[in-house]
Structure 1
Amino acid sequence: MSSERSTRFPAWATSALGAVAILAFWFLAAWLWRLGVAADPEAPASKASAVPYPQDVVASAVSAGADYFARHFGVSLAEAGIGYLVGNLLALVFAMLVLVVPALGGIVVQIATITYCIPIVAMGAVLIVMTPIPEAGEPALTPIILAGLSVFFTTVVGALLGLKAADRSALDVIAVYGGSRFTQLRKVRLIAALPAILNALQIAVPAAFLGAVLGEFFGKVEAGVGRAMMIAQTNVDAPLVWSLALASGIAALAGYGLLGLIARGVAPWSTGASA
């Protein structure tokens, strides 16, 4: 047992090795891409930069400046945040309503399934016709709605699974003493479902950001990550597109990690830690 522990790498070392491996693969992919483009005499000159080297992406981000990223990411994060809050709040209300009024279970599941099955691109095409044009630099309604739809199904399912996993004996005790379904929900089910709800909320963070960025691709926005990507694509500025994409991944990962820390603090028993 002691030898196994001694050969185990610390978390920071594993992360560092993973980052080095990703950078090495990135360099190799960019180099091989350029070799393939150079071997094709009919390839346009701009095609060689479609897979830029990491230093080109960093240089493009530095050239764009912090104000550029702050302006576009500020709008996208606001849209994702509003959609995240509204979508998850509605999902939790619907899930709790099923436990209080079981007859509504089928309807709630059908609504959640429909929001999940409708292609988000098709929904965005419909919403862009219906929603007004926002003020310059203000959050747009289409990205907000798509962000809310992106998280609704996951949170409904996670909350329902957690609420229905409550200890049956504890529910029976409340029923014996004359407690209602609402009392069971408030005193037993919510506490039992907290880890599952927090996990669903954590998974919903990247989904909300993705929904907001996709919503910006449909237009009617003056700023946002999606808008910035479209302009960079039109200008054939591949390094800037890559820098925006990587910054989007970092933002989504940061939100995911933040919710993970909150979950550990609110429900430490879900990770095996002591309360």
Structure 2
Amino acid sequence: MRRRGLPTWLAGLIGGAVLVGAWWLLSATVFEPPPGTTFTPVPSPWVVVQTIVQDGLAPYWQQFQVTITEALIGYAWGNAVALLLASVVLLLPQLETVVTQVAVVSYCLPMVAVGGIAIVVLGGAKRAGDPSATAIFLAALAVFFTTVVGALLGFKAADKASLDVVRVYGGSRLTQLRKVRLIAATPAILNALQIAVPSAFLGAILGEYMGAVDRGVGITLIKLQGDLDSARVWAVFLLSAIVALIGYGLLGLISRAVTPWLAGRPTT
């Protein structure tokens, strides 16, 4: 009989339990507060959860909604440009090397240095509570490489026989793109978009670290670190991981719904 791996949800629960267990172990051993003090750089998971419950989600949401907005806008722009360039490569194959090199260069650029330049060129939030232009730009930059590579690999996965049929019947490269390549590339594109969700959120937070904002996860972390409020710093870390995980999971559900054949389900 063919061996079957663990269900995805069970593997996720086991991985989460291992991470929380390692977190608790480090907080109780390596980062245990010295005698006579109560400050610790790594509070236990229970202390962090207790802090969130005591504070309530409202004060955290006021900061997260700005960062989520920046991440969503950057996610949309970065992926739109990436998919557009990948489509152009199929229509003009001679541009593939140029587009690939641009994607690689964007991936290799140090985000901190790019953020410093972006804050000078683009600035931050125009008004209090508005999204930061720099955070949006870094969120878009963070997803660009992943989506370009995923889309190009997906487009190249199209069945050659199907492409030949379209060509025999007089179809152009644009017709091949619409009728064959897009369908074949859908799983790879959706996987790339799913991986890009945490990257966009992280890029937005990094953009807020550059300054010129009065609200957001990044500026909140700076303030809490300055106050040595480690419990709330870790609370923001934990909530950030949950937000990124929710976005990642939602894209996974969309992927399963759009490509049911990959899960062995009927396509009716």
**TM-score, normalised relative to structure 2:** 0.92
Q: Which residue of 240, 252, 256 corresponds with 2:244?
A: 252
RMSD: 2.3
SS at match of 2:265: coil
Q: 1:144: Cα distance to partner? A: 0.3
One of 195, 214, 231 as aligned partner of 1:239: 231
Q: Which amino acid aligns with 1:55?
A: W
Q: In structure 1, which of residues 153, 156, 162 is the aligned counterpart of residue 145 of structure 2?
A: 153
Q: Is the 8 A contact 2:74 2:138 kept in 1?
A: yes
Cα offset, 1:147, TM superposition: 0.4
Other-structure match for 2:119: 128
User: CA offsets per residue over residues 147-187 of structure 1, 9 Å max, x none?
Assistant: 00000010000000000110111111111121111011011
**Which is richer in helix?**
1
Q: CA deviation at 1:18?
A: 5.0
Q: 1:174 aligns with which of 166, 170, 175?
A: 166
Measured against aligned partners, the alpha-carbon deviations of 1:54-97 in whole angstroms (never above 9, x if no partner) come to 22112222333322111111000000000000100110000000
Aligned residues of 1:33 and 1:51 also touching (Cα < 8 A) = no
1:225-263: CA deviations, max 9, x gaps? 111111100000001010100100010011001000000
2:107 corresponds in structure 1 to 116
Q: Residue 74 of structure 2 aligns to which amino acid in structure 1?
A: G
Partner of 2:77: 86
Q: Give the AA of the match of 2:113.
A: A
Secondary structure of the equivalent of 2:29? helix
In terms of Rg, which structure is larger? Answer: 1
Matches of 2:8 and 2:100 in 1, distance apart? Answer: 40
Structure 2: stretches of 5+ with no match in the other structure? none
The residue aligned with 1:33 is: 30
**Residues matched between the structures, number:** 266
Letter aligned with residue 49 of structure 2: V
| Aligned residue in 1 for 2:210 | 218
1:124 deviation in Å?
0.3
Structure 1 range deviating more: 242-251 or 13-22: 13-22
Residue 142 and residue 11 in structure 1: after superposition, are their counterparts in 2 closer, same or farther (change >3 A)? Answer: closer
Stretch deviating more after TM superposition (264-273 or 154-163):
264-273
Q: Which amino acid aligns with 1:31?
A: A
Give the one of 44, 63, 67 matched to 1:53: 44
What residue is the counterpart of 2:155 in the other structure? 163
Is the CA contact (8 Å cut-off) linking 1:80 and 1:208 kept in structure 2?
A: yes
Q: 1:183 aligns with which of 169, 175, 179?
A: 175
